[in-house]
Structure 1
Amino acid sequence: MITRLPRWVEVGGFWLACIAGAANAIGLLGFEHQSVSHLTGTSTLLSLALAELDVSDSIHLLGIILAFVLGAALAGALVGGEALLLGRRYGVALLIETLLLLGAMLALLAGSTSGHYLASAACGLQNGMVSTYSGAVVRTTHVSGLFTDLGTMFGAWFRGHAFNTRRAMLYLLLILGFIIGGSIGALLFLSVGFHAMLFPAFGAAALALVYWGYWLRTRGRSEKG
């Protein structure tokens, strides 16, 4: 049970959700209403394409799904372990995510659908980076699970179980970050088109630098202690 939420989990989770929310909003506005931060909508579109025997769309949507899985696989190879732990190679993963998002932007500006695959891989990479913290499932690229977890927590509370306020605060923070990021991404896309992808790309790079700085400072303190 979470009793104390470290600042790095709080800030990092919020900012990651903000990045994913922005990328997803840009995807919905610019990728023919395709989500990239999660695969629920994409899987449904694939089902429709298969039912209509639309080979071209089926291959394209399947490519987006496979790109997401490959991104998650890369995260597993880089980070390893399911629980959040300071010192793991999150910074490297974030820099790769930055490159994928920048590549997606350049491809989309050139009119290439390969940008869809690169953006999906970036979100798969981010989604695979974080899994749990102190027993709480940490999701930063979609919010359905977060709302589900909040609902079950309230249901358990109604039955007389203790309510984990710190965990609820973490979930609400992630939801807020996703919504704010989506709003920023939408506003930027309406103003500058696919150049809006610079926001989540540089956001990931900035978070990588902040993470490395915080980790080095924390390690220095522990060595002195």
Structure 2
Amino acid sequence: MISRLPTWVWIGAGTLALVAGMVNVVGLIGFEHQGLSHLSGTTSQLGEALAQGSGRAALQLLLVLAAFVAGALLSGLLIGGAALQLGRPYGAALSIEAGLLALAVPLFEHHHMGGALVAAMACGLQNALTTTYSGALIRTTHVTGMFTDLGMFLGNRLRGLPVDGRRIALCLLVATGFLCGGVLGALLFPHLGYRTLWLPALLTGSAGVAYVVYDLRRRTTTNTKR
């Protein structure tokens, strides 16, 4: 049940949605108007490029798709399992994401395709990190599913069917976080350019450190009670 989600999951979901919103808007503004945090639009653009016979554009888009998948693959190798569970190396995964976002900055500034690839890889890693927990599907790098769930839950409520209000709250949290990240990224980009990505890198790195500290304290407390 969504009501069983611990506080650290709620905080992490909101923070990572904010991060993804910032990364995506930087891609949309700065890198050939290319979204980086989800693949629906990228796949459509790939189809268009293939139909038009634009080999160079198709290759770039295909590489972005592959980089996102590679990030998800890396997350699967690091974390394993489908459920969120304390004790798994989320801190290491978040630290790697922070490093990828930081690396994207100089690559973008030198107009190198690698900037988009490592940023997309960071998003793929993040999206795979936040996954199924007790029947609640959490995705933080896109909000289509959250808006779909929100509409479905509201429709059920209008029919008089029981709906877990915390599930609606989770959808709103992720959608709002993603939106606020987009607003913040759009406001910062004219002043900082691609260095705007330093902020999401700092946030994910800090989240990784906070998780490690939290988990260590939890283990210490548990061992003390034994």
Q: Does 1:39 align with 2:16?
A: no
Cα shift at 1:30: 0.5
Give the Cα–Cα distance (whole angstroms) in 1 for the partners of residues 2 and 29 of structure 2.
37
Partner of 1:109: 109
Give the Cα–Cα distance (whole angstroms) in 2 for the partners of residues 20 and 223 of structure 1.
36
Any conservation in 2 of the 1:185–1:199 contact (CA below 8 Å)? no
Aligned length: 225
Partner of 2:74: 74
Partner of 2:144: 144
Partner of 1:205: 205
Alignment of structure 1 residues 9-20 onto 2, 5 Å: 9-20=9-20
Give the Cα–Cα distance (whole angstroms) in 1 for the partners of residues 72 and 175 of structure 2.
21
Cα shift at 1:58: 0.4
Q: Does 1:172 align with 2:172?
A: yes
Q: Does 1:153 align with 2:140?
A: no
Give the Cα–Cα distance (whole angstroms) in 1 for the partners of residues 4 and 114 of structure 2.
43
What per-residue deviation string (whole Å, max 9, x for no partner) do you get for residues 78-132 of structure 1?
0111111111111111111111111111101112111111111110010111111
What's the % identity of the aligned pairs?
A: 46
SS of the aligned residue for 1:136 comes to coil
Gap regions ≥5 residues in structure 1: none
SS of the aligned residue for 1:71 comes to helix
Paired AA for residue 17 in structure 1: A
Partner of 2:189: 189
Paired AA for residue 122 in structure 1: A
Give the Cα–Cα distance (whole angstroms) in 2 for the partners of residues 3 and 92 of structure 1.
27
What per-residue deviation string (whole Å, max 9, x for no partner) do you get for residues 185-214 of structure 1?
111111110111101111110000111111
Scaled by the length of structure 2, the TM-score of the pair is 0.96
Scaled by the length of structure 1, the TM-score of the pair is 0.97
Give the Cα–Cα distance (whole angstroms) in 2 for the partners of residues 129 and 106 of structure 1.
26
Partner of 2:86: 86
SS of the aligned residue for 2:10 comes to helix
Partner of 2:135: 135
Cα shift at 1:50: 0.6
Cα shift at 1:182: 1.2
Any conservation in 2 of the 1:4–1:166 contact (CA below 8 Å)? no
SS of the aligned residue for 1:137 comes to coil
Give the Cα–Cα distance (whole angstroms) in 1 for the partners of residues 4 and 166 of structure 2.
7
Cα shift at 1:5: 3.8
Cα shift at 1:4: 4.0
Give the Cα–Cα distance (whole angstroms) in 2 for the partners of residues 14 and 220 of structure 1.
27
Cα shift at 1:156: 2.3
Give the Cα–Cα distance (whole angstroms) in 2 for the partners of residues 178 and 40 of structure 1.
16
Cα shift at 1:31: 1.0
